[in-house]
């Protein structure tokens, strides 16, 4: 189910983000607080279409949190990427010769196994010595109850889940550290603040109550307020400077990864340029998460960040963590004009930066006359949400004719179109007489100049409109044979939700789509092509695609066999918290979904307005 909307109270006041960092710097000056931030990663997810970026691009979330900590004066911070440090164990970590005061984990749903493993390990530390354990990221935003174990035989738990962005974390730390006594541990100060009700006005937290090995109830302080002006975010340079070097060790190195090696390990830099999307796709949680707001950075700030990263680390390739960069045409043009005219030391910024980001077909055509400016701004690739050109899945201006036209416009200008497609129950592999078949559409995209292709099976996403319906209708699988559907299977590469009587066909269709696009014959045609624009890029994409296809086949080839021969057990309800949830005032919890036990064990009910979802801070 979608997150409730705050209705007129969605955004923080202007300047509040910079103010809280200023206040924290004063507190941090008298403290000696060290922090380790870990990015959870399940290596079983390494396949198309993520096979390069998963290891060669530092995720924006942990990097941004690290930057915020440094800008807030908490400079003793290290960022550990589990994709680089597979054997890292929190119970053995030391920073400056001692256990850190705070341990944070950022996790997506598909990397939950890695997050749970780290929670179990950090809980091996004696409670009196244990750091304050915080979990954030998409997993905590949509399913915060999972970071608190309801099983006494497996009592792993975090101290608090942050269900919002960096401001929520900094506000909580301000409350905890300002009330911390001399010599007191940060975790002890947190527990005292929690039990004293001092955290109840910090919107965007879920924490546990109860003295036993597992929580008796969870307190949900409500839906966060969002940062409206993204220029108030901390710059990315300091975040990159705190990365743990890749290692096979369970412990931390004495120093972070040297600046001279960062561009070798992360040749792609992640940037937040805009957030939000005007479309209301039922399978997507993005609009509700952003409270129907569209937020962005100024062109001047983006140019400054790119130049700082290039000068400091030599990074030249950037991926914008945008939901739809062309969402607001006027504001997009303002950013593009600034980037196109930016010069540093007499050198045009576009000579030092190659940018990729996400858009839609509809908005690309609306921006047709301005695409030369977009190219001049340094944008070299656009990941385009094509989904299904027949419009059977969703309609947002992406029919076959318009999509082909948009791709041709981009290709002529030297901007590589990178289509993202969704396979679904109603789509056949090949059709005659129309272009609704999966391979028919991939053929059209290839002819129109697509550089890559992404084919994922549509799966229910927590926080989306249809999340509850897909479960109650029996569409979602709980297990296939003796194989439980674990979180790492929800990335769209596996068919885990379908009403098709032969779901194994859908699984094979995904592989067929990739094989049809990435193969030696297609590579040969690229090599022999006389069209030199984007030729080298397309050849590189083919090589990486064939390499990634081998990973994908190796990891998924047994799944269609399971779907073919094993009985499928289906869910009849969405996953909910087994622990009762409530607001600080005793009302319904804003992040609970239908079926969650409420106050005094009553059945839960999702509130639809902010005033009923939060605590005293609302």
Domain boundaries, the chain: 16-228, 267-565
* pLDDT tens digits, 317-337: 999 989 999 999 999 999 999
Q: Which of 304-317 are b and which e, b meaning 16 or more Cβ less than 10 Å from the residue's Cβ?
A: bbbbbbbebbebbb
Give which of 356, 275, 344, 350 is closest to 312, Cα–Cα. Answer: 344
Give which of 465, 80, 161, 50 is closest to 286, Cα–Cα. Answer: 465
What CA–CA distance (Å, rounded) separates 27 from 178?
Answer: 7
Identify the pLDDT of residue 611.
38
Q: H or E stretch including 80?
A: strand 76-81
Identify the pLDDT of residue 614.
41
Beta bridge partners of 483: 480
Residue that is written with structure tokens 């066909």 in the block: 505
Residue that is written with structure tokens 């990221």 in the block: 137
Identify the pLDDT of residue 615.
41
Report whether CATH 3.80.30.20 matches the domain 267-565. Answer: yes
Tokens found for residue 140: 């905590």
What CA–CA distance (Å, rounded) separates 123 from 138?
Answer: 22
Beta bridge partners of 77: 35
Identify the pLDDT of residue 600.
60
Burial grade of 517 (CB within 10 A; 0-12, 13-18, 19 or more): buried
Identify the pLDDT of residue 155.
87
In DSSP notation, 80-106 reads EETTT-TT--GGG--BTTB--SEEEEE
DSSP 474: T
How many residues belong to the chain? 618
Residue 151 near residue 214 (C-beta atoms within 8 A): yes
Tokens found for residue 124: 């091996």
Identify the pLDDT of residue 602.
55
HEC profile for 480-539? ECCEECCHHHHHCCCCCECCCCCHHHHHHHHHHHHHHHCCHHHHHHHHHCCCCCCHHHHH
Identify the pLDDT of residue 616.
36
Identify the pLDDT of residue 482.
95
Neighbours of 399 (CB within 10 A): 15
What CA–CA distance (Å, rounded) separates 14 from 587?
Answer: 30
Residues in the chain predicted with pLDDT less than 70, given as ranges, are 397, 600-618
What CA–CA distance (Å, rounded) separates 602 from 202?
Answer: 25
| Chain mean position to CA 390 | 28
Identify the pLDDT of residue 212.
79
Tokens found for residue 372: 């030369």
What CA–CA distance (Å, rounded) separates 380 from 415?
Answer: 5
Identify the pLDDT of residue 129.
95
Neighbours of 40 (CB within 10 A): 25
């Amino acid at each position: 189910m979608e997150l409730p909307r705050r209705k007129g109270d969605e955004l923080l006041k202007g300047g509040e983000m910079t103010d809280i960092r200023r206040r924290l710097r004063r507190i941090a000056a008298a403290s000696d607080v060290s922090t380790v931030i870990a990015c959870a990663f399940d290596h079983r997810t390494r396949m198309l279409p993520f096979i390069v970026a998963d290891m060669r691009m530092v995720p924006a979330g942990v990097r941004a949190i690290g930057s915020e900590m440094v800008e807030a004066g908490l400079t003793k911070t290290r960022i550990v990427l589990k994709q680089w440090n597979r054997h890292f164990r929190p119970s053995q970590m030391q920073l400056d010769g001692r256990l850190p005061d705070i341990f944070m984990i950022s996790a997506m749903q598909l990397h939950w196994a890695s997050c749970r493993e780290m929670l179990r390990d950090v809980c091996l530390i004696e409670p009196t010595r244990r750091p304050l354990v915080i979990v954030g990221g998409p997993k905590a935003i949509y399913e915060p109850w999972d970071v608190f174990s309801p099983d006494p035989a497996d009592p792993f738990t975090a101290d608090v889940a942050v269900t919002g962005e960096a401001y929520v974390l900094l506000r909580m730390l301000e409350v905890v550290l300002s009330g911390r006594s001399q010599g007191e541990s940060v975790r002890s100060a947190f527990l005292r603040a929690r039990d004293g009700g001092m955290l109840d006005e910090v919107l965007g937290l879920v924490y546990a109550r109860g003295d036993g090995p597992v929580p008796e109830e969870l307190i949900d302080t409500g839906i966060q307020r969002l940062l409206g002006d993204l220029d108030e975010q901390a710059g990315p340079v300091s975040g990159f400077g705190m990365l743990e070097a890749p290692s096979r060790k369970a412990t931390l190195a004495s120093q972070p990864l040297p600046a001279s090696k960062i561009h070798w390990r992360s040749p792609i830099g992640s940037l937040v340029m805009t957030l939000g999307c005007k479309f209301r796709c039922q399978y997507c949680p993005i609009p509700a998460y952003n409270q129907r707001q569209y937020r962005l950075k100024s062109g001047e700030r983006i140019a400054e960040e790119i130049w700082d990263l290039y000068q400091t680390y030599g990074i030249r390739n950037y991926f914008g963590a945008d939901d739809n960069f062309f969402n607001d045409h006027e504001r997009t043009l303002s950013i593009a004009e600034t980037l196109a005219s930016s010069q540093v030391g007499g050198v045009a910024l576009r000579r030092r930066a190659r940018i990729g980001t996400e858009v839609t077909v509809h908005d690309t055509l609306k921006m047709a006359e301005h695409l030369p400016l977009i190219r001049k701004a340094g944008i070299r690739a656009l990941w385009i949400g094509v989904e299904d050109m027949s419009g059977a899945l969703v309609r947002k201006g992406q029919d076959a004719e318009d999509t082909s036209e948009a791709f041709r416009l981009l290709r002529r200008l030297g901007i590589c179109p990178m289509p993202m497609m969704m396979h679904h129950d109603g789509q056949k592999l090949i059709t005659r007489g129309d272009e609704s078949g999966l391979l028919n559409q991939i053929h059209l995209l290839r002819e129109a100049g697509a550089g890559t292709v992404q084919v994922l099976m549509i799966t229910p996403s927590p926080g989306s409109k249809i999340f509850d319906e897909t479960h109650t209708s029996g569409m979602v699988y709980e297990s296939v044979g003796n194989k439980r559907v674990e979180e790492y299977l929800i990335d769209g590469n596996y068919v885990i939700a379908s009403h098709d009587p032969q779901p194994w066909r859908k699984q094979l269709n995904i592989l067929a789509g990739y094989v049809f696009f990435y193969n030696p014959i297609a590579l040969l045609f690229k090599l022999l092509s006389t069209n030199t624009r984007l030729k080298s890029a397309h050849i590189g994409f083919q090589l990486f695609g064939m390499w990634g296809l081998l990973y994908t086949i190796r990891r998924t080839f047994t799944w269609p066999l399971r779907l073919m021969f094993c009985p499928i057990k289906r869910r009849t309800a969405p996953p909910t918290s087994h622990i009762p949830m409530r607001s600080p005032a005793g009302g319904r919890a804003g992040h609970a979904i239908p079926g969650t036990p409420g106050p005094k064990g009553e059945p839960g009910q999702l509130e639809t307005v902010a005033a009923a979802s939060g605590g005293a801070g609302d």
